[in-house]
Structure 1
Amino acid sequence: ASAAASLITLGSGGSSGREGPVVHLAAVIATKVNDLIDARGITARDLLGCAVAAAVSASFNAPIAGALFALEVVLRHFAVHAFAPIVIASAAGTVINRLQFGGVTEFTLERQGVLSFYVELPAFLILGLVCGAVAVILMRAIFWVDDTAERWRARWNIPPWLRPAAAGAILGVIALGFPQIIGVGYETTSLALTGKMLAHEAVVLAAVKVAAVAITMGGRMGGGVFSPSLMVGSLAGLAFGLIATSVFPDVSGSETLYALAGMGAVAAAVLGAPISTTLIVFELTGDWQTGLAVMVAVSTSTALASRLVDRSFFLTQLERRKVHLSKGPQAYLLCMFRVANVMRPPDHARAVPTDDVWEALEAGIFIDPNATLETAMPMFQDTARMWLPVVRIGDSGEAPKILGTLHHVDALQRYNKALAATAAEEHS
């Protein structure tokens, strides 16, 4: 259903990207395969990484970036056991792409960028900061439109299906004046990378594209954010380059090099994937001679953007859903264990006496069995207790039912085992 929604959105001119849906579809297929072969744990996650690597490689014709994207963004570690299968899957995806499309690069640069080394590098540091700010504006605009649209829908009881319809209508009106915002936007990105645009045109198109993407995503239409971030980044980089090269013509290279660096800088900040995004830019363009400029811009943009959002667009989405993946395993592992699965039942050999449990309950100290250790651990600290009653509260007038007790030592043991298993996987 998600793939179909993205297909309809992109086919009818929605302002989003194709790569996000491709990665999501690959992950869904991997999950189904894992269910069929009953794969769990490390094996299941490695197969998920293989599927994503193959999808990215087939979509971009970028085998190196596909493999590193799966490790950097999906698995979030570079364990040796995952490297070989993911690289093989990435190579397979690239072979399929080249059999179908001939192995051409997505963008063709008419002239190679010439970088005045050392003297011009500070300009790319500044470009990175600008692109980091642009990426944050893009991400926050999407979330703001999404929240605003949800409030309006709830207030006026608007049917859910009308939300993407209204977003599509608004996009159509915008496209009457700015047809470049329609679809993935690679044509406009190519114009920016070849310098066939004026500075004010690039600025205006970048601003309109941000609004269009926010409306598309906030309107719950399909698609991803990677391709839009490439377009916005190339436009922002071109505008910056045109200004920089006009102010300092004697020490500046080509303005298209700034467009290339800006494309990578915004995309890396949005994805939170500086390594794989840098390689994707190289493999999309085939220009390996300007790596230093792109790396400098990408590093500063991701450093800035990661401080203003929760690491990336996707991790911020998860944080908004109370999934704390951006804070590392020490945070999200607590959410994986329900109190009911860790507590001691009343008939446990070392159960707390019933009178003591009722005394704590009368003092207002208890926890729901469906809560997670994320809720329980602060309660242990705040109450300075070694155990908490686990109680199911009934309807009005119905007495609470004591299901057992959650002990601090049991919670810590379960948490420590999960941390150790995670560390073992990431370093295996």
Structure 2
Amino acid sequence: MPEQSGPSPGHAAWLLRVALVTLLIGGGAGVVGVLVNLMLHGIEHAAFGYADGTFLDGALQAPPLRRFLSVMAAGILGAAGWWALRRWGSKVVSVERAAAGTRMPLRTTVLNALLQIGVVGLGASIGREAAPRELGALLASRLTRAAGIEGRQAGILIACGAGAGLAAVYNVPFGGALFVVEVLLAEVSFATLLPAFASSAVAALVARVAEPSAPLYALPHVELTPQLLVFSLVGGPLIGLAAAWFVLLARRAASSRPRGARILWVMPLLFTLVAGASLVLPEVLGNGRAAAQTAFSPGTPLILVLGLLLVKSLATLGTIRAGAAGGTLTPSVAIGAMLGIALGSTVSAVVPGTSTAAFAFVGAAAFLASTMRAPMTGLILVTEFTAQGPELLIPAMLATAGALAVVYFLERTRLSDIP
């Protein structure tokens, strides 16, 4: 029998080139994540007038008038910026379309990301994660083209750039990699896992050199209790129902965004409403981190959680309706955490003994997984956000399974289209 030959020199060189580009994408996305965070924090500190602490601290300490004017400034900046960009710039290309082969315009992509960072830093109620994803994908598309990598492999690496940007900006290497294979590519194979893991790990490592690697949310120590298991089984489907309605409303809000010059008055008007809400509930401001941290903190009054749950949901939907670009990842974490506490309080009223932070964790994981339609990504992201151990995985997995079962049922029966 003839001997089997090893890989040809040409193939080995190609693999080496792909590996090198993967590492460059991870390193570049890490730098992008650092720059995004520095810009965002700089805007937040300037807008709300604080030097130390978290955005929640700054929002609570800022005078009401300052909060109001900051969100008003976000509405004016966003309206003018996106009106001009959409009138004279190229059409924004999503990460999904870029991975499928559509070229991302340099100037439009960068300006769109900068506008997102600016309005979120000024207090707009929408996620910031779209900006580093888009910039990471843009970087990856340029590197793959320069290296002569085309076709399917280029699409995989562009998706990896987006996941690496997410990993860097939130310090979630595993979540960033899972986002690539489960959400963007919907393919779990060696061809997708290897570059996704490598690029996200490198991006998170680079980001940690410039910023501390503390968890995004601080949670007290929580323990698994029988009440939490019961809550997960019963509350999971209810969380899935809420997530399905939130996604439906978000899609309708996005489809009814103002066209043309209408954004010049619609966005400032809707942002004024959010600014008014911030006079009473400062936690509603920003991408959702302030609201989520409020929910995760022990001793938060239930009435505050319920009020913030309603107002944060409306503020996020209103911001999308106003025409702002951005994501719903961190708003979904906040809404899910507060929904978990709202539902879990019923269990605690009957059988006390479970920390509200445990209900918040389970609610956040199930709600995020349902809105993303990605059980593994949603669960791992919340785990990395909070640095919680494996003890809460069992109730979170049960709740996520129940939530996604409801979402799947609604999609299959088209009940989610009911007005």
TM-score bracket, shorter-length normalisation? 0.5 to 0.7
Match of residue 118 from structure 2: 8
Supply the distance in 2 between the matched residues of 1:310 and 1:22 (Cα, whole angstroms): 33
1:223–1:125 CA distance, 2 compared to 1 (3 A): same
TM-score, normalised relative to structure 2: 0.67
- The superposition leaves residues 230-278 of structure 1 with CA deviations (integer Å, 9 ceiling, x where unpaired) of 11111111122222111122xx532221111101111111111110111
- The superposition leaves residues 33-82 of structure 1 with CA deviations (integer Å, 9 ceiling, x where unpaired) of 33333432221122113212311211221211211111101111011122
Supply the distance in 2 between the matched residues of 1:141 and 1:9 (Cα, whole angstroms): 22
Which structure has more RCO (C-alpha within 8 Å, separation ≥ 6)?
2
Q: 1:5-404 to 2 correspondence within 5 Å? A: 5-110=115-220, 112-117=221-226, 120-150=228-258, 159-249=262-352, 252-288=353-389, 289-308=391-410
The structure where helix makes up a greater share of residues is: 2
Structure 2 residue identity aligned to 1:23: R
The Cα shift of 1:109 comes to 1.3
What percent of counterpart residues are identical?
23
The Cα shift of 1:127 comes to 1.7
1:310–1:67 CA distance, 2 compared to 1 (3 A): farther
* 8 Å contact kept, 2:129–2:327: yes
TM-score, normalised relative to structure 1: 0.66
The Cα shift of 1:85 comes to 1.7
Supply the distance in 2 between the matched residues of 1:142 and 1:261 (Cα, whole angstroms): 22
Supply the distance in 2 between the matched residues of 1:257 and 1:113 (Cα, whole angstroms): 6
Supply the distance in 1 between the matched residues of 2:262 and 2:176 (Cα, whole angstroms): 39
1:184–1:57 CA distance, 2 compared to 1 (3 A): same
Structure 2: runs of 5 or more not aligned? 1-110
1:75–1:310 CA distance, 2 compared to 1 (3 A): farther
Structure 1 residue identity aligned to 2:140: A
Q: How large is the RMSD of aligned CA atoms in angstroms?
A: 2.3
Match of residue 55 from structure 2: none
- The superposition leaves residues 87-113 of structure 1 with CA deviations (integer Å, 9 ceiling, x where unpaired) of 111111111221111211111212x22
1:96–1:202 CA distance, 2 compared to 1 (3 A): same
Greater Cα shift, 67-76 or 176-185? 176-185
SS of the residue 2:279 aligns to: helix
Supply the distance in 1 between the matched residues of 2:247 and 2:322 (Cα, whole angstroms): 14
* 8 Å contact kept, 1:9–1:223: no
Supply the distance in 2 between the matched residues of 1:160 and 1:187 (Cα, whole angstroms): 27
Structure exhibiting the larger radius of gyration computed from Cα positions: 1
Superposed structure 1 runs of 4+ greater than 6 Å apart: none
The Cα shift of 1:177 comes to 2.6
Supply the distance in 1 between the matched residues of 2:198 and 2:224 (Cα, whole angstroms): 35
* 8 Å contact kept, 2:305–2:342: yes
